[in-house]
């Protein structure tokens, strides 16, 4: 399905089209509504920052957009496919074909080298090892880790680990990159390096949604969406962006 899907997408079709998404955790007396009718559309070519106070629903929203969490109500289309109507198997295929994720708590395999961390994920996605290895070397070189291919996560700095995580997400050539607080544990200069990588990923056919509360990163954005208490309270298109 995903190959047909990829070719069926018109270039200007939204990468994400979410309509009146609601999320309530728990049931009965414990029910906690955390998203209230959130609608948003993200077109290819956009680097979107999602901001807002802790607890405002950012992680919940991006988890739903990534197909990792099912909303209580509402519909979500990703790359033209209605993910809210998909089976778990279909969702897994769509994620593999179209979506890359990076999370704050970097979930690299601690026993594997930087190179193997990228190669294994590509192989899991069905790439032959002979294709995966050169591709992984290239992308790790592009994130400045050519001389760290044989290092394990414990032998890398926080910024280097996060660069491996970004390289791993980008190696599968997703249409949509989703990052949740990917720079929160990093110093300012390293955060800028990571955002420069993300900026370089966004082309007229791809998009990125990055959760952050770091105002220093605003200059990388095409658009800044602010959340409060489970609602979008501001949605600003930025004219002037970081040259990439």
Ligand X SMILES: Nc1ncnc2c1ncn2[C@@H]1O[C@H](COP(=O)(O)OP(=O)(O)O)[C@@H](O)[C@H]1O
Q: Which residues bind ligand X (CB under 6 A)?
A: 25-26, 32, 34, 52, 54-60
Q: Which residue's CB atom is positioned nearest to Mg ion? A: 59
- The site for Mg ion, by CB under 5 A, has a size of 2
Within 10 angstroms of residue 147's Cβ, the number of other Cβ atoms is 9
Nearer to ligand X among residue 56 and residue 183 (C-beta): 56
User: Which helix H or strand E contains 224, and what residues bound it?
Assistant: strand 223-228
DSSP 59: H
Residue 59 as a binder of Mg ion (CB under 5 A): the answer is yes
Which residues are registered as beta bridge partners of 18?
Answer: 40, 76
Nearer to Mg ion among residue 59 and residue 172 (C-beta): 59
User: What is the rounded distance in angstroms from the CA atom of residue 151 to the CA atom of residue 111?
Assistant: 10
- Residue 25 binding: pick among ligand X, Mg ion, none (C-beta 5-8 Å cut-off by kind): ligand X
- Evaluated on CA atoms 116, 99, 61, 32, the torsion sign reads negative
Q: Look-up: residue for tokens 């607080």?
A: 181
Count of residues making up the chain: 244
Within 10 angstroms of residue 19's Cβ, the number of other Cβ atoms is 14
Residue 56 as a binder of Mg ion (CB under 5 A): the answer is no
- Residue 100 binding: pick among Mg ion, ligand X, none (C-beta 5-8 Å cut-off by kind): none
Nearer to Mg ion among residue 58 and residue 95 (C-beta): 58
State the minimum distance, in angstroms, from the CB of residue 57 to ligand X. Answer: 4
Nearer to ligand X among residue 180 and residue 193 (C-beta): 180
Residues of this chain that bind Mg ion (CB under 5 A): 58-59
């Amino acid at each position: 399905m995903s190959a047909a899907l990829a070719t069926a997408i018109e270039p200007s079709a939204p990468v994400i089209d979410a309509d009146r998404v609601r999320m309530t955790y728990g049931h009965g007396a414990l029910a906690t509504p955390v998203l209230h009718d959130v609608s948003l559309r993200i077109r290819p070519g956009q680097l979107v920052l999602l901001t807002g106070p802790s607890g405002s629903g950012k992680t919940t929203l991006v988890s739903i957009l990534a197909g990792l969490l099912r909303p209580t109500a509402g519909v979500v289309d990703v790359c033209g496919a209605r993910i809210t109507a998909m089976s778990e198997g279909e969702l897994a295929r769509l994620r593999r074909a179209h979506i890359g994720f990076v999370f704050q708590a970097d979930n690299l395999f601690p026993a594997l080298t930087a190179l193997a961390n990228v190669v294994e994920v590509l192989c899991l996605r069905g790439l032959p090892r002979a294709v995966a290895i050169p591709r992984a070397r290239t992308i790790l070189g592009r994130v400045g880790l050519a001389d760290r291919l044989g290092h394990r996560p414990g032998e890398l700095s926080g910024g280097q680990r996060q660069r491996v995580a970004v390289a791993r997400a980008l190696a599968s050539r997703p249409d949509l990159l989703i990052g949740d607080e990917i720079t929160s544990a990093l110093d300012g200069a390293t955060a800028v390096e990571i955002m420069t990588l993300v900026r370089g990923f966004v082309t007229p056919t791809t998009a990125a949604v990055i959760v952050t509360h770091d105002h220093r990163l605003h200059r990388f954005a095409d658009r800044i969406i602010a959340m409060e208490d489970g609602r979008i309270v501001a949605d600003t298109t930025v004219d002037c962006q970081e040259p990439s």
